[in-house]
Amino acid sequence: MTAKPLSDARILLIVGGGVAAYKSLELIRRLRERGADVRVVMTEAAKRFVAPLSAAALSGHPVRSDLFSLIDEAEMGHIELSREADLLVVAPATADLLAKMAHGLAGDLAATTLLATDKRALVAPAMNVRMWLHPATRRNVATLSADGVALVGADEGDADEGEMACGEYGPGRMAEPPAILAAIERALEAPTAIPLPPGVGARDRGALAGKRVIVTSGPTWEPIDPVRFIANRSSGRQGHAIAEAARRAGARVTLISGPVALADPPGVEVVHVETARQMRAAALSALPADVFVAAAAVADWRVEAAGAEKLKRDGGPPALRLVENPDILAEVAARRADRPAVVVGFAAETERVTENARDKLKRKGCDVIVANSVAEGAGIFGGRDNEVAVVSAAGVEAWPRMDKQEVARRLIDLIARLARERA
């Protein structure tokens, strides 16, 4: 069983400057087909072989290449890039990139990212046969292997053999995208984080340092009988991303998750539930907290008396009496002694999104409503992107469509600001 399925993995692909760089586009496409989130860093040399626009179109994210970008590096972009990925993949890994990795050089964004990462790396070497067999390259490959870097396209230390663009024949050709994809899946079967020695690393100085955060995520399943249940299309991606972003901001996080096909975020206490009543009990028992984010899509109704046995088709369809489920968001927002300082709800709407969100803000008594459209064709439920309107007493702020990790980061920044104002 994989520690991180490819369908939920975040891959940082570093493209080196070689003729084989064109294969990186097919690799991006195959990774995306399998559900992986792919970010791309290209060396300056790589951009001479492959257009960054092509990689951006296939990955769905801007391509990064400039270590000194005022926008990206104002937020320490090379640190964030390397830390947010589950695995770093270098393809093609040129002789120059292998040498930089082996000797800890950091003169450009690609090399700096590889040096700053806290995750494992997988390299797919690509170079002329003489370069591959040169003693310096052999030493560099041996060093990287000893450092725990995985190689694909290597057979007992030699890369794939075949005819090269230069006309020569022998080891040094980059592995084909299907082989690299298989190597990525193998790498994800084990934890990819690189631990630091005790007492070393970042201090707890995040925007939510010292805060307790509760996040609900995913759908609830309300049983009809032992086989059937009432559910919805929530994937839990947004709620899980919020929990992870809060943890990165220094908070102690409890994630209360309905049934989802996602891995538990690392460093987060996770409570798994199925029904709305179980989620309510878990949420109340997790209090007190400084922040409560109700991102779960909780079923509004449940069957009053679920069948103890599987309902049969004999006699026509059964009459199901539905009763209301507990309103977890309203109940937490209405608490007196231990109400969290910031209570955030979500509103998934098919029409009048902003108006319905304003109404929900008043009815629930919370501080913020994050509203989005789940109308047919929106691609929000189960998708990787989100487009939200953030509704509060201060007004409505419409955010452009972006991936759910970015929505989570922005929301945590907003929550941290509100928490400081109310401290």
Spatial distance between the Cα atoms of 366 and 37, rounded to a whole number of angstroms: 32
Minimum mean pLDDT range among 129-143, 187-201, 378-392: 187-201
Going by C-alpha positions, the residue among 265, 273, 266, 267 that lies closest to residue 218 is 273
Who has greater pLDDT, 165 or 68?
68
Task: Provide the pLDDT for residue 74.
Answer: 42
For the chain, the average pLDDT equals 89
Determine if the pTM surpasses 0.75. no
Residues annotated as catalytic are 166
The number of residues making up the chain comes to 423
pLDDT bin (cut points 50, 70, 90) of residue 132 is: very high
Fold of 6-187: Rossmann fold (3.40.50)
C-alpha distance from residue 352 to each of 150, 298, 371, 407, 411 (Å): 51, 20, 10, 21, 22
Q: Is the pLDDT of residue 127 over 70?
A: yes
Task: Provide the pLDDT for residue 67.
Answer: 83
Fold of 212-421: Rossmann fold (3.40.50)
Q: Is the pLDDT of residue 399 over 80?
A: yes
Q: Is the pLDDT of residue 373 over 70?
A: yes
Q: Which residues, listed in sequence order, are joined to residue 154 by a DSSP beta bridge?
A: 159
Task: Provide the pLDDT for residue 171.
Answer: 82
* Element housing 154 (H / E): strand 154-155
Minimum mean pLDDT range among 55-69, 159-173, 223-237, 360-374: 159-173
pLDDT tens per residue, range 25-51: 999 999 999 999 999 999 999 999 999
Task: Provide the pLDDT for residue 73.
Answer: 44
Minimum mean pLDDT range among 307-311, 363-367, 416-420: 307-311
Burial class (CB in 10 A: 0-12, 13-18, 19+), 17: buried
Q: Is the pLDDT of residue 131 over 70?
A: yes
Spatial distance between the Cα atoms of 320 and 310, rounded to a whole number of angstroms: 14
* Element housing 87 (H / E): strand 87-93
Task: Provide the pLDDT for residue 20.
Answer: 94
Task: State the average pLDDT over residues 303-308.
Answer: 91
In the chain, % of residues over pLDDT 70 = 89
Shared fold status for 6-187 and 212-421: yes
Q: Is the pLDDT of residue 394 over 60?
A: yes
Task: Provide the pLDDT for residue 159.
Answer: 44
Q: Is the pLDDT of residue 381 over 90?
A: no
For 93, the 3-state DSSP assignment is strand
Q: Is the pLDDT of residue 175 over 90?
A: yes
Q: Is the pLDDT of residue 157 over 80?
A: no
Task: State the average pLDDT over residues 319-326.
Answer: 94
Spatial distance between the Cα atoms of 106 and 65, rounded to a whole number of angstroms: 13
Task: Provide the pLDDT for residue 156.
Answer: 38
Q: Provide the residue type at 370 as one letter.
A: V
Task: State the average pLDDT over residues 272-298.
Answer: 96
Q: Where are the domains of the chain?
A: 6-187, 212-421
Positive or negative torsion for Cα 101, 106, 107, 109: positive
